[in-house]
Chain A
Amino acid sequence: MRDAPDLIVVGAGVVGAACAYYAARAGLSVTVIDRGPVSAGATGAGEGNLLVSDKEPGPELKLALLSTGLWRELAELLPPAVEYEPKGGVVIASDEAGMASLRDFAARQSRAGVTAHELPAGRLHELEPHLAPDLAGGFHYPQDAQVMPALAAAHLLRAGGERVRLLLGEEVTGLITGANGEVRGVRTPSGPVRAPCVVNAAGPWGGRFARLAGVELPVLPRRGFVLVTEPLPRVVRHKVYAADYVTDVASGSAALQTSPVVEGTPAGPVLIGSSRERVGFDRSLSAEALRRLAAGATALFPVLAGVRALRAYAGFRPYLPDHLPAIGPDPRAPGLLHACGHEGAGIGLAPATGLIIARCVTGGEPPLDLRPFRPERFERPSSDPL
């Protein structure tokens, strides 16, 4: 058997990959374990938007702003295959009321460090020539970017170099603990792997994994459908969405919410996302979700009406009740760290998360205030507003 690694990361999605990468860069040896291939979970279903535009000022926006810079650095280092594009986002308001609330939202974001430029109706078509006529206006967010998530995870793992070891096709079935309940490693069907620290990067299954360690973490899956069209020449240049997307993202409701988010990809297909509903891990197709996605996208871009969807797929976002991820050490199980629950923003937030985890393990100073992300925050009675 090889020497025990310094760190075990459970989950080879984009968050686990970022944790492994930053830990390796800090000099740690890391074993990444996944029961499936790389990017088999939420990461393989994600659309790869790296957004600041949809975030309210607050802890998540801070994480997103940090990540935006880190993604820019990573893009220099990772191969072009990860399809990083600093293309910017355009948020659209269909009427004056919508425009007024967008303006207010953008003003608050600007004070928190976001760059946002107002687009009067007359300028919308300079940025997006195929947008419908008669829209009230919008905002341009140049910091928004895009990446191909599955490849980004694979190349992050690779960029970790010799220090990162991949164990694929191995399910973690239990934790090894010491006399005082401290975590000492994990069990897999083909034997134990020992390490002083274990990171829960199990995405939507992060709650299940936490239970293996005897702690509660209420991660729930929030289903999303995405429509993928036939390859097109560049019709959509930015990441374009309607203003109501922001309210959907922030909503805690289990019911179906859909707002059109439309974007082109370097390979040609246009992606249309993304519905949000909490229905457990149920993949069955919802005609209503598809209808709303298609209706929303064609309302923004009428030229898409005659374009074919080749594929529709469902994915599951790892969701925590207060819409914030759990990041950092778990005081209830020494040696266990969490890096999960990023909901619809895990691709964007992965680098900051990885950097934080690496700092926590090496005893360094975290790059931002970790209190809002404390994994044990749900222990309190639910009447206590969080």
Chain B
Amino acid sequence: MPASESDPHAPVDGLGPVRGDGPVDGLGPVRGDGPVDGLGPVCGDGPVDGHGPVYDLAVVGAGCAGLSGAVTAAELGLSVALLDASAQTGGQYYRHPAPALGAVRPEALHHDWSAFAELRRRQEASDITRLTGCHVWAVIREDGDLWAVHAVTGADGDGERPVRVRARALLLATGAYERQLPFPGWTLPGVVGAGGAQAMLKSGLVLPGRRIVVAGSGPLLLAVAASLAAAGARVPAVVEASGYLRYARHPRALAANPQKLAEAAVHGAELLRHGVRVRTRSAVTAVHGRDRVEAVTVSRLDREWRPAQGTGRHIECDALAVGFGLVPQIELAAGLGCAVRRTADGTSALVLDPLQETSVPGVWAAGETGGVGGAQLAREEGEMAGLAVAARLTGRSALVRSGRMRELRRRRARMRAFADVMAAAHAPGVGWTRWLADDTDVCRCEEVTAGRIREGVAGLGARDVRSVKLLTRAGMGWCQGRMCGAAVACLASGAEAPPPSAERRPLAVPVTLSALASLDEPRAGPEPRGR
């Protein structure tokens, strides 16, 4: 099951605008291993200059990819700082209840838990400096070929403090967030992101409703439906906009990835057991309800995702979990000028060389940032990046010529091929914009309707995401276009597929002015030993 769950903040049920991205735990430092002011002791490993410690490697994102890259590099002797916005390691996939919730077996909700447990064991045994609750807002190149990772802690409370971590190499493993395509009624309470529903289940063990329709497109839907059903929800329908037939056109990529088929079979069996019906080539084209979701209309789609007139079917439910695949979260890399490519399903991902390095020397990436491909691929790419960084920094070029590296590269090629098949199968058709009414809000932060965006394109000379933003305000609000960007790109480009967006958001998360104003005070130094 190679898609991933995404931004848990994505469609937020009635909560309105999304704040920044990434999990916001606001817990700040955990048991003394969080970020601390850099006055005190210097890092045990790694050189120190007048501004505090300099790590060999800074890793942003402690999901499968980042964790595995950090562990690999640390075990090869590098000093490593591992930053994540969340209080926990594991990222989107290995999201687990906070210890306080007292869940007995978080692993029951995960495949592949043992791989994560192993990574975590290795991380605990290493001397990686773990910086939790660190929201990275930018990475900036400093003199002397160093990277400065700028973050704030506790971005949701008063205790916001700037943190700066400097390193000789950088690994960006910031994962992906869920793509949303709007439809009439999508802002009603009870509409949640499919990935968000999964995240709620994994970390809080709560369900968004009792009768939940799961809709959108992508392999994640089946996984989400299966786990919602397993947790006791009724799932009256899974509504998938594409067909599954397109997979069958790539028998080789399928045959080479038997594990993926096994995962799909597991979800399929789970759904059958719960009597869940999967409707392909269909979409939720309207949500009904006064104060929250009461029912949805499901319409048939043609190959281009144009809804067919008169095919609407009314399905009662009290929640809708919806998502249209994942969008690589590449702002930090884009801010550094790293090259991007267009993926088979129309998102932008980083261009990477065979050793996971971006087009900017010294900056590596792994996992979903290089294209959505699943937890296992993320883990193995993280390892490759760890090896490559160690080879570069220590001059041990044998590391990248090893048998292990060759094997990893083979497996990556295989898994990437499968991911491409999947992305192509679930690429949104250009006709989906037909299900938008002129009064449907597309940008929920600024309440910009589809009609106003169409007017901006037809009447004011907008042609892309940036000019739509400037001329209509779509994407100018809290989430800075993370939610509506995909939809706006489609509306701006009309019948053509939108070009890859090189749009930069120089602040990856919101930062208070006081934090920015105190930037020059060196605050780098975390405690010497993380956990």
Spell out A's residues near B (CB within 8 Å).
12, 36-40, 44, 150-151, 154-155, 157-158, 166, 168-169, 227, 229-231, 267, 269, 272, 283-288, 290-291, 293-295, 297-298, 304-314
Contacts and interface: CB of A to CB of B under 8 A. Distances in A.
Interface string B312-340: 00000000000000000000000111000
A229 B510 CA distance: 9
Given A37-B461, A39-B470, A151-B471, A284 B512 contact: no
B303 interface: no
A154 B140 CA distance: 35
B458 to A, nearest CB: 11
A188 to B, nearest CB: 16
Interface string B449-478: 000000000011111101100110100111
Contacts of B514: 294, 298, 305-306
Given A284-B141, A284-B336, A311-B507, A166 B517 contact: no
A130 B504 CA distance: 32
Name, among B337, B471, B473, the residue most crowded by chain A CB atoms within 10 Å (CB to CB).
B471
Contact of B467 (A39, A306, A308, A309): A39
Contact of B516 (A39, A168, A294): A294
Contacts of B446: 267
Nearest to A310: B510
B300 interface: no
A240 to B, nearest CB: 15
A44 B504 contact: no
Contacts of A227: 513, 516
5 contacts: A37-B461, A38-B467, A40-B467, A151-B460, A166-B461
B173 interface: no
Given A284-B337, A308-B510, A310-B507, 13 more contacts: A151-B460, A154-B471, A267-B476, A283-B504, A284-B336, A285-B506, A291-B517, A291-B519, A291-B520, A294-B513, A305-B517, A309-B512, A310-B480
A40 to B, nearest CB: 6
A336 B322 CA distance: 56
B150 interface: yes
Q: Which 9 interchain pairs have the tightest Cβ spacing?
A: A38-B461, A37-B467, A294-B516, A150-B470, A37-B463, A308-B510, A305-B514, A154-B460, A291-B519
Nearest to A314: B506
B138 interface: yes
Nearest to A228: B476
Contacts of A308: 510-513
A38 B462 contact: yes
Contacts of A311: 480, 505-507
A157 B461 contact: yes
Contacts of B58: none
A309 B507 contact: yes
Interface of B: 138, 140-141, 148, 150, 158, 335-337, 446, 459-464, 466-467, 470-471, 473, 476-478, 480, 504-507, 510-514, 516-520
A36 B478 contact: no
A127 B336 CA distance: 41
A285 B140 contact: yes
Contacts of A297: 513
Contacts of A272: 513
Contacts of B518: 291
Contacts of B467: 36-40, 44, 150
B374 to A, nearest CB: 32
A291 B141 CA distance: 15
A158 B336 CA distance: 37
Contacts of B477: 231, 310
Contacts of B476: 267, 269
Q: Is the interface of A mostly helix, strand, loop or mixed?
A: mixed
Nearest to B473: A267
B478 A154 contact: no
B507 A305 contact: no
B473 A154 contact: no
Given A39-B467, A284-B140, A298-B517, A309 B461 contact: no
A36 to B, nearest CB: 7
Given A284-B335, A310-B510, A314-B506, A230 B478 contact: yes
Contacts of B512: 305-309
B466 A40 contact: yes
B336 to A, nearest CB: 7
A157 B471 CA distance: 13
A305 B138 contact: no
B507 A312 contact: yes
A297 B516 CA distance: 11
A223 B516 CA distance: 19
B507 A154 contact: no
Q: Which of A37, A38, A293, A305 is the most central at the interface, judged by chain B CB atoms within 10 Å of its CB?
A: A37
B507 A307 contact: no
Given A158-B459, A284-B335, A287-B148, A309 B510 contact: yes
A169 to B, nearest CB: 6
Contacts of A291: 516-520
A24 to B, nearest CB: 16
B478 A37 contact: no
Contacts of B337: 283-284
A201 to B, nearest CB: 14
Contacts of B506: 285, 311-314
B15 to A, nearest CB: 16
Given A283-B504, A295-B517, A168 B461 contact: yes
B460 A158 contact: yes
A154 B461 contact: yes
A14 to B, nearest CB: 12
Contact of A285 (B138, B461, B471, B520): B138
A288 B148 CA distance: 12
B88 to A, nearest CB: 24
A34 B324 CA distance: 34
Nearest to A169: B463
A298 B504 CA distance: 26
Contact of A310 (B140, B478, B504, B519): B478
Contacts of A37: 461-464, 466-467
B516 A309 contact: yes
A320 B141 CA distance: 29
Given A287-B140, A310-B478, A312-B506, A38 B471 contact: yes
A306 B471 CA distance: 29
A229 B480 contact: no
A37 B465 CA distance: 10
Nearest to A32: B461
B471 A39 contact: yes
Contacts of B519: 287-288, 290-291, 294
Nearest to A308: B510
B148 A294 contact: no
Nearest to A166: B461
